[in-house]
A and B are shown apart, each in its own frame.
Chain A
Amino acid sequence: MIKVQHLSKHYGSVKAVDGISFDVAEQENLVLLGTSGCGKTTTLKMLNRLIEPTKGKIQIDGKDILNGPPEILRRGIGYVLQNIGLFPHYTIAENIAVVPKLMGWDDKRIKDRIHELLEKLHLPDNLLNAYPNQLSGGQQQRVGLARALMANPPVLLMDEPFGALDNVTRTKIQAEFKELDELKRKTIIMVTHDVQEAFELGDRICLMDKGRIMQIGTPAQLLFNPANAFVQDFLQGQRLQLEFKAVTLNDIWELLPDAEVQHRKVSATDRNIWAAMEVLKEKGAVLHLQQVEKGPVKTTNFAELMSAFNRYQNHTNA
């Protein structure tokens, strides 16, 4: 879907981005992770030509994006900013409708699409005639997301999309975000400096430092097969929690005890350990799991889950 080759951005002698290459598959969610100044935001902004590259090539669907007018390119790519950047002099309805208006949609189509999105994003209809400064931070961020999704672009770029929110709102919107079917169909590149967020939302993570890619891979690969000392050190501080998030029930399937009885109500096994712990922390709770349809069923409680996870850890770290 997106192919980046030898991409560089130099400001004088400073190499903000230094010859990086990566691919993003269709409907994949790639997180660009790193500290401030590592080049992640510069990389993101080169993808919709908010910043023009010094060197290198970017292809989307096989087409070089540096050909043709940038305005047309940008209308086909959704963009969500950390500071949201809603137009203060436009109503919410007008804000959401910016891109379709530029693309010349008719009013009915715009109206229908707005209502569809409002419903999906849990925004009340009466917000449409309000102005951005009348909304809470969380509502503003949802509107920002609606604006980016409005014209249904296949690619979505997100620059620290939850950076401006408080912790509680942030967790809530992240959860909604994961559940949103609109987003599941999109190729998303997201920038964050928050390791937890990266592990929570990324299919793959691209860890950057000083304009170069340190490692690109799934959360589990970064955790259990770090490419170098930088990657290991970067994740060290929050290692345990990250492992809970990086490891899924599938990974520890072999280590879980078999069920004694067959159960009708079974859960899927693609959720991570952290999510399973959330369910099991109630006293006496158990999960009945089935990996493939008509396959064997396993039952686990909190203690058994932890025990299986420990054995998995010892196994992979060894």
Chain B
Amino acid sequence: MNEPQQSLWAFMVQQSDKLATQTLQHIGLTFISLLIAVIIGLPLGIFIARKKHFSGAVLGVAGVLQTVPSIALLGFMIPLLGIGPKPAIMALFIYALLPIIRNTYTGILGVDAFVTEAATAMGMSKWQILLKVQLPLAMPVILAGIRTATVINVGVATLASYIAAGGLGEFIFGGISLNNTNMILAGAIPAALLAIIFDFLLSRLQNLDLKKLRRAATILPLLLLILASFYLIPSAYGSKLTAGFTPEFMGRQDGNLGLREKYGLKIHTIVISDAVMYKAAYEKQLDVISGYSTDGRLKAFNLIVLKDDKGIFPPYYAAPIVRDDALKRFPELEKTLNLLAGHINDSIMTDLNYRTDYLHQSPERVAKDFLIAQGLYKPSRNGNNGTVRIGSKIFGEQYILASMYSMLIKGYTNYTVATKTGLGGTKICFDALTHNQIDLYPEYTGTGLLVILQPNVKLVDSVERDKNKTYLYVKQEFEKRFNIKWLQPIGFNNSYALMMRQKQSEKLAVKTISDLKHYLDKK
């Protein structure tokens, strides 16, 4: 136990710059949105406490917004507000709104009716009653709402990294993609600490007696403003072009690290999720993105791949990987899965992906159409000779492959199939496989090499240039270390690639990554 702790500390020290930036961004995001939520939610709560017939509608709408899943909410925001901090703040604001409105409302209604009556009878105006009596007395309840909203926001703000708004989510999601526990913890622990610290501080505020509370209520807005401004501090740099890279790409040797090392590429970079990256490039919010060479959106959004002239992206040939004991239990499985081998090349895979990602055909339909066209499709035998569990990562290509395997197994054997698709990143999928939660999933040779095996640099250099060497190395190592077998490659190479809009690439005459570097280095 001692060693990983030390290396976590070492990681945090080594990445302290990034950690500080992300923490400040995280605090900033949380409090900008909280500030806006207070500015809007507090008057709204006061309003519905006065005009009670509006309360149902206002609380209802805020309640419904609260139930929208956070990722979906971020997704909705992109067409409206693009990527970056704006949609993130908007989404966080929406989550913070309900507790603030509701607690303001209940807090004011909870003030003793005799006290309000006395205030009226003393000759106070409506505003004087609100400011001198109702709000001060409702303050503990209102603060409880702000406290709830803060804790929610610290949590949800981790998702902001999906849409290039920064925050500690960069480490968390980067770590999940890269199978790097230290990186996950370096994001998760500070995020949890922030939640605990803010919760504690606000609870202290809430428990102050009424007299001190009056002073606290004047300091609080100021404090919120200061914390909110944290977000603005780190983002004071720029360059000619803006790159959007996934958290996974950011931390990989065959990603951003390699780009810096081998090409010397220096570009203003923001971290963004794969799900919105292509669209953002298409909408000219990003100029260069890290993508996958077989991605259907390449075709959909008219992007082109920059040639990797120094060869830093290793081959990513896809093949199903299966636990040995599953192969033993299902003797016909290997033969069936290998039916697909050699049938899909890069352009076919791009086309299949295009159909799901852009034409919105279901992965099942795309898989079935393809198998029929290839003469591989057989109707299901409805067998009951045991269940094969197929997993997949959370993107279209993996869904299509999982569907194909499912159909092949049902059509060629007497096994039934259970699919567990959408298992997040590599780490989650691979853990599910090793912990006997699934029996197989499609993996890529480069991922197996760099993410799971993580051999030393020398070894990587010696095997990563040659697709067969890579395949043989991972096959041999997986068998030895995990008792997992790599079956025959499917045929296509879904490697990392840098992409640009076709028009921009032509205009700037940037065809290769070296061209890109020269363009950026030019004045």
Identify 5 new A-B residue pairs, CB closer than 8 A, beyond the known A82-B114, A89-B137.
A74-B122, A79-B121, A88-B115, A89-B211, A89-B214
| B261 at interface by CB-CB < 8 Å | no
Distance to closest chain B CB from A75 (angstroms): 3
Q: Contact at A85–B123, with CB atoms within 8 Å?
A: no
Chain B residues in 8 Å Cβ range of A88: 112, 115, 137, 210
Q: Contact at B133–A102, with CB atoms within 8 Å?
A: no
Known A-B contacts A89-B210, A89-B211, A102-B128; the reply to A83 vs B114 at CB < 8 A is yes
Q: Contact at B120–A50, with CB atoms within 8 Å?
A: yes
Instruction: List 17 A-B pairs, Cβ < 8 Å.
Output: A50-B120, A71-B124, A72-B123, A74-B122, A79-B118, A81-B114, A81-B118, A85-B119, A86-B115, A87-B133, A87-B137, A88-B112, A89-B213, A91-B211, A98-B124, A102-B123, A131-B210
| A48 at interface by CB-CB < 8 Å | yes
Known A-B contacts A50-B117, A87-B115, A102-B128; the reply to A79 vs B210 at CB < 8 A is no
- Distance A83 CA – B112 CA, assembled complex (angstroms): 10
Distance to closest chain B CB from A186 (angstroms): 16
| B347 at interface by CB-CB < 8 Å | no
- B214's nearest neighbour on chain A, judged by CB, is A89
* Contact among A73, A75, A82, A87 for B119, CB-based, below 8 A: A87
Distance to closest chain B CB from A18 (angstroms): 24
* Contact among A82, A86, A99 for B123, CB-based, below 8 A: A99
| A84 at interface by CB-CB < 8 Å | yes
Proximity bits, B131-166, A CB within 8 Å = 1, else 0? 011001100000000000000000000000000000
- A74's nearest neighbour on chain B, judged by CB, is B123
A46-91 CB contacts (< 8 Å) to partner B: 48, 50, 71-77, 79, 81-89, 91
**Which interface residue of A72, A81, A91 has the most chain B CB atoms within 10 A?**
A81
Distance to closest chain A CB from B207 (angstroms): 15
Chain A residues in 8 Å Cβ range of B137: 87-89
Chain B residues in 8 Å Cβ range of A50: 117, 120-121
Q: Contact at B121–A74, with CB atoms within 8 Å?
A: yes
Distance to closest chain B CB from A213 (angstroms): 24
- B125's nearest neighbour on chain A, judged by CB, is A71
Distance to closest chain A CB from B291 (angstroms): 59
Distance to closest chain A CB from B343 (angstroms): 76
Known A-B contacts A87-B133, A89-B210; the reply to A48 vs B121 at CB < 8 A is yes
Chain A residues in 8 Å Cβ range of B115: 85-88
Proximity bits, B267-283, A CB within 8 Å = 1, else 0? 00000000000000000
Q: Contact at B118–A75, with CB atoms within 8 Å?
A: no
- Distance A84 CA – B114 CA, assembled complex (angstroms): 7
- Distance A50 CA – B124 CA, assembled complex (angstroms): 12
Distance to closest chain A CB from B111 (angstroms): 9
Proximity bits, A259-290, B CB within 8 Å = 1, else 0? 00000000000000000000000000000000
- Distance A212 CA – B393 CA, assembled complex (angstroms): 80
Chain A residues in 8 Å Cβ range of B122: 74-75, 79, 98-99, 102, 147
**Which interface residue of B121, B136, B214 has the most chain A CB atoms within 10 A?**
B121
- A147's nearest neighbour on chain B, judged by CB, is B122
B99-119 CB contacts (< 8 Å) to partner A: 112, 114-115, 117-119
- B211's nearest neighbour on chain A, judged by CB, is A89
Chain B residues in 8 Å Cβ range of A75: 122-123
Chain B residues in 8 Å Cβ range of A83: 112, 114
Chain A residues in 8 Å Cβ range of B213: 89
Proximity bits, A202-230, B CB within 8 Å = 1, else 0? 00000000000000000000000000000
- B116's nearest neighbour on chain A, judged by CB, is A85
Chain A residues in 8 Å Cβ range of B133: 87
* Contact among A48, A85, A131 for B112, CB-based, below 8 A: A85
- B128's nearest neighbour on chain A, judged by CB, is A102
Chain B residues in 8 Å Cβ range of A71: 123-125
**Which interface residue of B123, B132, B214 has the most chain A CB atoms within 10 A?**
B123
Q: Contact at A89–B120, with CB atoms within 8 Å?
A: no
* Contact among B118, B210, B214 for A86, CB-based, below 8 A: B118
- Distance A83 CA – B214 CA, assembled complex (angstroms): 25
- Distance A76 CA – B120 CA, assembled complex (angstroms): 13
- Distance A73 CA – B121 CA, assembled complex (angstroms): 9
Q: Contact at B117–A81, with CB atoms within 8 Å?
A: yes
* Contact among A72, A73, A76, A85 for B117, CB-based, below 8 A: A85
- Distance A64 CA – B125 CA, assembled complex (angstroms): 20
Distance to closest chain B CB from A227 (angstroms): 32
Distance to closest chain A CB from B407 (angstroms): 70
Proximity bits, A289-308, B CB within 8 Å = 1, else 0? 00000000000000000000
- B115's nearest neighbour on chain A, judged by CB, is A85
**Which interface residue of A71, A84, A99 has the most chain B CB atoms within 10 A?**
A71
